[in-house]
Amino acid sequence: MTTVGDVMTRNVVAVRKDARFKDIVHVMRARRFSAFPVLDDDNRVIGVVSEDDLLIRRAIAEPGAGPRFLLGHADRAKAAGLTAAELMTTPAITVRVDATVAEAARKMHAKHVKRLPVVTSDRRLVGVVSRVDLLGEYDRPDAEIRTEIIKRVIESEFVLESLAFTVTVESGVVTMAGPVERKDVAVSLLDEVRRVAGVVALRDRLSYPQA
């Protein structure tokens, strides 16, 4: 099963909690990133500072903007902030390095974010994962997917005779055909095939008792 650690980028750009406003802007423009994790002295992720966090200051810079641009307490504090710790959004939305790609995808979708800092169990930063990283497994060659299904899933995990099955993979779509003695084994087999990295869809053509 593919984990976040398998697909993440390890070369991470982050800022310390005491990084100054202008330094953050400089790094953001130089590296073309829209957000950075903010780290404490032990390299633990304590927040994320983004373009939106910094733009609050510019949004109220126009004379007379106050009455037309109402800010909540948190935004007013950010508008006056000078360091990453004062500007960041906290708590940071992160993902564990041992989480599955599916878990990371669900979190990104639910939180409407494009990338996530990747952390260890004690929240130390080890990488960053983006939407593109998560989609990378779907670029896996069909022949490689088929080999894993036959060798790892059918032969090793289920100890079944692979010659009894017909496994085809076309553009990531897997078709499984062949006899299985029990329905529960067939269901478990199909569930494991769905988890193989690169499988886009699965067509069940297995034959097994329905009772």
> Alpha-carbon torsion 28, 26, 53, 117, what sign?
positive
| 6 contacts 75 by C-beta, under 8 angstroms | no
33: its two tokens: 């990133």
pLDDT tens per residue across span 172-197: 999 999 999 999 999 999 999 999 98
CATH number at residue 194: 3.30.300.130
Is residue 35 located within the same domain as residue 58? Answer: yes
Instruction: Read off the pLDDT of each residue in 135-157 and give the average, rounded to a whole number.
Output: 95
Higher-pLDDT residue of 59, 158: 158
Q: What is the pLDDT of residues 148-174, one digit of tens each?
A: 999 999 999 999 999 999 999 999 999
Same-domain check for residues 125 and 203: no
Residue 33, pLDDT > 90, answer: no
**% of the chain at pLDDT higher than 70:** 91
Query: Based on the domain organization, do 39 and 117 belong to the same domain?
Result: yes
* pLDDT at site 156: 96
Asked if 97 and 161 sit in the same domain, the reply is no
In terms of domains, do 15 and 114 share one?
yes
Residue 154 half-sphere exposure, CB side, CA atoms within 13 Å?
21
Examine the fold and report which residue of 120, 137, 154 is the final residue of a domain before the chain moves on.
Answer: 137
Distance (Å, whole) CA 39 – CA 37: 6
| Confidence band for 128, pLDDT divided at 50, 70 and 90 | very high
- Residues 108 and 61 occupy one common structural domain: yes
Residue-number span of the structural domain to which 38 is assigned = 4-137
Half-sphere exposure of 142 (CA within 13 A, CB side): 10
pLDDT for res 66: 52
pLDDT bucket at 72, cuts 50 / 70 / 90? low
Unique residue bearing structure tokens 């069940």: 204
pLDDT at 64 over 60: no
